[in-house]
Every structure is written in C-alpha cells, then in structure tokens.
Amino acid sequence: MFDPASPVYFSGTWHSASGPAREVIDPATLEVVGRIAETMAEEREAALDAARAAQRGWARLDAKSRATALHKLANRIEATDMRRCAELMSREVGKTYPDAIGELANCAGVFRYFAEMARDEAGKVAGSTQAGSFQFARYEPLGLSVHIMPFNFPVLLMCWTVAASLAAGNGCIIKPAPVATLSTLDFMQVFADLPPGLVACLPGGAEVAAALIDSPKTHAVAFTGSVEAGRAVAVAAAGRMKPAVIEAGGSDPLIVTANALLDVAAAGAVTAAFHLTGQVCTSAERLFVQEEVYDDFLRRFAEQTRALRVGNGLKRSEIGPLVSKAARDKVIRLVEDARAKGAEVVTGGRIPPEQPVGWFYEPTILAGCTPDMAIMHEECFGPVAAVMRVKDFDHAIELANDTPFGLGASIFTTSLEEAMEAAERLEAGMVWVNNPLIDNDALPFGGWKQSGLGRELSRLGLDAFRRSKMVVIDHKPQRQGWWYPYPDDWFYESAGRKHS
C-alpha cells in the first residue's frame, strides 16, 4: 500500500495534511492502494501565500529565463523514471499501464511548446492613431491559477494548463481528482527546480475546489470534468470575475459514410469508443452509419471489439475497470434502457463473468439505436457504442448535431467533399477525419455548446492565463488640441453646426 503520509505539496516540498483521511481503492481489485487526507484551510492559505510570493519573482523574469526554466523542467520529466507514477495511476483509476506510461510520455513536450510560445511574443504593436505616439498592448500574467483536474488523464491534462499558465508568468495551484491524487502527487517531483512555492498540489474534494475558486488570492481557473460540475465552476468563477477555461465533456458522434474504408473505420471506431474503457471526454459514444454499409461495418466492428481483453490494467488488457461502482451503474442503466426500447446487444452488455471483483464491464455494441433512447442524449462515459442506421450523409450530420454537447466529432470517408462538408457543418470544437482522438499542442482544444468555455493548448491556451494592457507613449510630448479647456472658437463652431 502506498502511504504518502497524507501530504500536500507546496513551497517545493511535502507537508502533512490535517484533514480527515480517506482510503484510495483500486477499482480492479477493490483493495486499498493508499490513504489521502483533505487539505484544510491552514494548509491551503499557507500554500497560496507561498505561491503568491514565488509568483511575483517569476513574473519579473524575462521570457527567455522563464523558457529556460521550463525546458529544464521538461528535461527533468524525460529523465525521471515514471514507472512508479504510471503504476499508481493504473492502481487508483484502473487505467492500463501502457496508457498510463503513454500519458506521462506526452507531458514534456507541452512545457517545451509553451516555453517557446510565450517567448515568441508578449504583445502587439498597433498602428498609431496620431503622429509622435507609440501604441501597443502588453500581455501580463494574471497571478495564481487554480487547476481542477479529472481522473481520466490526471497528469497530462494538468500539464496542458499548468504549462501555459507558468509560461505566462503565473503560479499554479493544482487540485487533483480525489481518485487520482496519488499519481498526481508523485508527479510533483518534476517541479523541484522551479522557485519554491510556485506550484502547489492540494488534495481534496469539492469543498477545497470551491474555496480555491472563491479565494481573493487566486485569479483564474482551469477545470476539466462533468457538465454539471463545470457549470458550477463557471458560475463560481464568474461571481469572482475570474476567467475560467471549462472543458466539460460530451457525447461525441462518429459517422461512417458509404465512402469509408470499412476496415479502417472499424479499427478507428474500436479505439474511439473503448479507449480508457470509454472514459475519455472525446470518446465516440454515438455512431451513425450509412445504410449501404451498415451491416458490413457492424460485423467488422463487432469482430474487432470481441478481440479486446478485459482485465486489470497492470496485466495484458485493453479494457480496464470503470473508475467506480457509480460509473458502472450509470453504464448499466443506459444499456438496459436502450435494450428495453429495442436496441440489439451485438456484443458485451454485461459484467464479465471472469471478472467478478472490480468495476468491470464488457465493451458493448448496441445496434438499432433510436433517438428516444437515453444513451443517445446522455454522456455515458463507459465502454458502450450506440450504433444507429442513417439514410445518407445529410441525415448523419443532422443527428450528430442533435445534442446539447459539442466537444469532438469524427467521420470516416474517402470523399473529399464529405470530409470538407463535415468539417464545416459538424457543431463541435474538434473534427477528426479518418483519425479520431488526435490532439496537437499547437491547435486549440475545447468544445462548443455545453461542452465547455475557452480553449486549452495553442496560442489560445496561453492567452487564457494572461491579460492585456494597452500602453500609449507619446515620445514627442505636446499639448493636444482636444484637451481641456476647449478654445473659444470651438464653442462658436459647435453652436453653428448645431443650428445650421
């Protein structure tokens, strides 16, 4: 059992938390992995004070020096043996070990990207409104940013926003997901070379998150999680007039047209629907397949799905457990509702009999789905693909957009016309053609509609953590003609214009 002595991380070291402790349970074995204590007000305030003090010095650094520090941080990530962190992640959230290692391997690059992005430009020079005046905008840090993280990619998604915030000159307060705290704390070692206090990790639940958002010592919020929680975070941040980046999940569509390469589409759909046991915000949950290829695609999709291995993430398996009993109960509810309304269970649809312990559920394909089924409107967040037959491309686009969500959308086709039409007409923040779930540090990540506000990654992700300041410098000082008091002839001219 991993027992970190119930720590919080701030001032460059670990401190004991004084709040009530809880056990961390492995969702695959239901065994106790470790214990974590809630961060209390005293530790929280100490961390905020230390971060604010460190941030003042960090903000005064020139961009090159900050970039050098972030490149050094990236070097440390690459040089650190991440096997312990990956194992902790697998044991506390059920992620397969290869997926955990893969997540950690992608962290260094985002720090390098934002290090150079922030160094590339720090403002804008505008065309002057008058001679002898230099007019420009400066981009400056906000202060302290709060990062409220999810369980599914607890370290990588934290790095996405922390890297951008640090590059902008801020300090960062991380509130990890309660079920993904051990791996997040273990990762904190990579920040050891930054100014002590600049980055803090404060374990806890919703009360800790609410206190950090409400604190006058914090200045921005980054959140990834459910729509319901995202809405609450957005409201709380708005109440304090703090900018917030909200990534709130979705129920992504995947379209297979009559022009798709079906072997590619089936393989892509397996990964899009079942990666991380379907617990990805951009998982393909609703599949719309054109009737000409419906049966053929369904057969290939089912064949490849049945080849997936279900089991402990530390063993040879692609499908680990769901993160909790509540998560599995929701999946079961949605599958049973669809079955009762006429959906056919092509494969899966049950708790695997060989896995009686843990929150396992077989990767499931539901065929013949209809719009009246709850799974076509709710976010399932589990290993279930709901497949619906559509008459043509336009019908697929219409149904794909018939949702309150708008995070990502995928399409498989060899038609350039369909690809371009889909990119234009799908109501989502990301569109993938023949290659789902890809992200790019240089392109914005985020959703439309109820799937979120603001963007992560790219220049937009950097701008989320800095504010602008307009500066006007008259380098040839002189009295301006419009300054008070007005010349007398102005009044006569104004009166003449008024009565003419």
Question: What is the tally of structural domains in the chain?
Answer: 2
- Is the pTM here over 0.85, yes or no? yes
pLDDT at 497: 54
pLDDT at 12: 80
Question: Is the residue at 498 inside a domain?
Answer: no
Do 407 and 298 belong together in one domain? yes
pLDDT at 5: 55
Percent of the chain past pLDDT 90, that is, above it, reads 92
pLDDT at 464: 98
The β-bridge partners of 124 are 137
| Chain mean position to CA 172 | 16
Do 45 and 193 belong together in one domain? yes
Q: How many CB atoms lie within 10 A of CB 388?
A: 22
Question: Is the residue at 395 inside a domain?
Answer: yes
Nearest to 384 by CA among 343, 326, 341: 343
Does the annotation count 247 as an active-site position? yes
Query: Reading across the β-sheet that carries 133-141, which strands appear in turn?
Result: 123-125, 133-141, 466-474
CB within 8 A of 106, min separation 6: which ones? Answer: 156
Backbone angles phi, psi at 375, to 5 degrees: -65, -15
Do 460 and 356 belong together in one domain? no
Among the three residues 422, 440, 458, which one is the final residue of a domain in this structure?
440
Instruction: Decide: residue 391, CB within 10 A, 0-12 exposed, 13-18 middle, 19+ buried.
Output: exposed
Percent of the chain past pLDDT 70, that is, above it, reads 97
Question: Is the residue at 494 inside a domain?
Answer: no
Nearest to 256 by CA among 300, 196, 223: 300
Do 258 and 210 belong together in one domain? no
Do 184 and 74 belong together in one domain? yes
Angle (CA) 168 118 153, round 5°: 65
Query: Reading across the β-sheet that carries 244-247, which strands appear in turn?
Result: 13-16, 7-10, 199-201, 171-175, 144-148, 220-224, 244-247, 452-453
Which residue in the list 103, 247, 379, 456 is annotated as catalytic?
Answer: 247
DSSP per-residue codes, 139-207: EEE-SEEEEE--SSSTTHHHHHHHHHHHHHT-EEEEE--GGGHHHHHHHGGGGTTSPTTSEEE----HH
Which residue in the list 281, 369, 380, 427 is annotated as catalytic?
Answer: 281
Nearest to 287 by CA among 217, 364, 355: 364
Distance CA 228, CA 154 (A): 19
Domain enclosing residue 390, as ranges: 252-440
Give the chain's residues under pLDDT 70.
Answer: 1-6, 492-500
Do 318 and 373 belong together in one domain? yes
The β-bridge partners of 288 are 255, 388
pLDDT at 499: 43
pLDDT at 2: 52
CATH number (domain holding residue 344): 3.40.309.10
DSSP 216: T
Q: How many CA atoms lie within 13 A of 341 on its CB side?
A: 18
pLDDT at 67: 98
pLDDT at 500: 40
